[in-house]
Amino acid sequence: MADTLTPTQRRYCMSRIRNRDTEPELIVRRLVHSLGYRYRLCPPSLPGRPDLVFSGKKKVIFVHGCFWHRHRCRLGSPVPRTRAPYWQSKFERNTRRDAKNRRLLLRAGWHVMTVWQCQLKDLDAVTAKLARFLGI
């Protein structure tokens, strides 16, 4: 199936996809803040630019969208029908990059947690998981 948008329209649509301050990230920030923790956002010095950084505890949290980071849930499984090889390659690069960044952080002594978009349906469970990770 051919793309129904012109290249200019497609470029505009893709430019609206945000990589910071997404709704899942804002939810996790509010939960962490309600637990009494303060954090830094996306420092460029760390591999993968984690979404939340707790420097004193050497802990980082990534908030991943299931689709873009290929979580093993129903949100992470679909592949666009148009240009499937391109998308498959892109998703593989994303997952390899995520794994590499995680390894680099672990080797540097950081503790890493990933919160998936689909997990935010149960905020109580995510809050408990965050509390355990951060050490309450």
Find the domain containing 62 and state its range.
20-134
Higher model confidence: residue 99 or residue 22?
99
In a domain, 2, yes or no: no
Sign of CA dihedral 99, 88, 70, 44: positive
Tell me, what's the pLDDT at 105?
97
Please write the tens of the pLDDT for every residue from 4-56: 888 898 888 877 777 777 899 999 999 999 999 999 998 888 999 999 999 99
Which residues does 65 contact at the CB level (< 8 Å), separation at least 6?
Answer: 22, 24, 117
In a domain, 4, yes or no: no
Contact, 71 vs 115, CB < 8 A? Answer: no
In a domain, 81, yes or no: yes
Tally the domains of the chain: 1
- Rounded mean pLDDT of the chain? 90
Q: Which CATH number characterizes residue 66's domain?
A: 3.40.960.10
Higher model confidence: residue 14 or residue 61?
61
**pTM exceeding the 0.95 threshold for the entire prediction:** no
Torsion angle defined by CA atoms of residues 136, 128, 74 and 111, in that order, rounded to the nearest 10 degrees: 10
In a domain, 117, yes or no: yes
